[in-house]
Amino acid sequence: MTTATTARVRLIIIGDEILSGRRQDKHFAKMVELLGQRGMQLYGAEFVSDDFDAIVATLKRSFASDDVVFSCGGIGATPDDRTRQAAAQALGVELALHPEAARLIAERCADNARRGQGSADMSLPENQQRLQMGVFPVGAEIVPNPYNKIPGFYIHDHTFMPGFPVMAWPMMEWTLDTRYRDLHHRVTRVEHSFLAFRLPESRITPAMQELERKWPGVKAFSLPSMGGSGHPHIDLGVKGEPAAAAEALAFLRAEVLRVGGSLTPPES
């Protein structure tokens, strides 16, 4: 497990259905929300196809980092689910049926049988196929799935979950609160912004550069808008440690006025 004071958290979304538009990704926004609740932030995200070589290449690069990574999708047992196999190849380890995963999958089959859905006999071909969902890279630990007991897995600061939000999101929360509790609220950061009018970005950019020189731990940002039915403006702001960010914000507001901008929209 990572011991970094400010670990970088990344998200990987795997699946052709996202890239083709058959399904819309919902994990990105949820990951940002869950991290924000814990005083953490998302460093990066990427989308990967179901192509085996593409997944292997992505995971090789990812395992070589010190990042905390959440991966959604591709851990089922159908031919297009290749994430488990790709993770093993990327790490150079074998795949093996995890005993705790096998127990949980058998429990799930028994639960279904009690509801009149299938059989609890694990020797049946369909249940043997279900057991494939518990075949993980050697050395992996399970990630509990409160929705249907079929676990995900964790290895080398990477948490692998199904693509279904109803399963993945509780697994994200469990991982953040169980494995990474020591990273919660490690860094106190704030974000402030305001709207600037009658001001091109090019005119305020030097002030933003000067701001980051004066307050090295603060980042300035600029989000221009055409204004829709209102007035064109720039959403200007800063993010960083509270005291420094407050000073930098005051500086940026003053600079807007100094270079001829306005903090209020022009009269119609």
pLDDT single digits (tens) 144-179: 999 999 999 999 999 999 999 999 999 999 999 999
* Strand residue runs (E) in 156-209: 158-161, 190-197
**Average pLDDT value for the chain:** 94
Cα separation, 82 vs 75, in Å, equals 7
Q: Which fold has domain 190-258?
A: Alpha-Beta Plaits (3.30.70)
Q: Which residues of the chain form CATH 3.30.70.1130? A: 190-258
Tokens 């071909």 belong to 125
Tokens 């074998």 belong to 94
pLDDT single digits (tens) 61-119: 999 999 999 999 999 999 999 999 999 999 999 999 999 999 999 999 999 999 999 99
Q: Which residues of the chain form CATH 3.40.980.10? A: 9-183
DSSP strand pairing (42-48 vs 9-14): parallel
* pTM of the shown model: 0.83
The pLDDT of residue 185: 87
SS3 string, 32-96, reads HHHHHHCCCCEEEEEEECCCHHHHHHHHHHHHCCCCEEEEECCCCCCCCCCHHHHHHHHHCCCEE
Cα separation, 134 vs 151, in Å, equals 7
Query: What 3-state DSSP class applies to 11?
Result: strand
Query: What 3-state DSSP class applies to 220?
Result: strand
Which CATH code is given to the segment(s) 9-183?
A: 3.40.980.10
Tokens standing for residue 202 = 């090019």
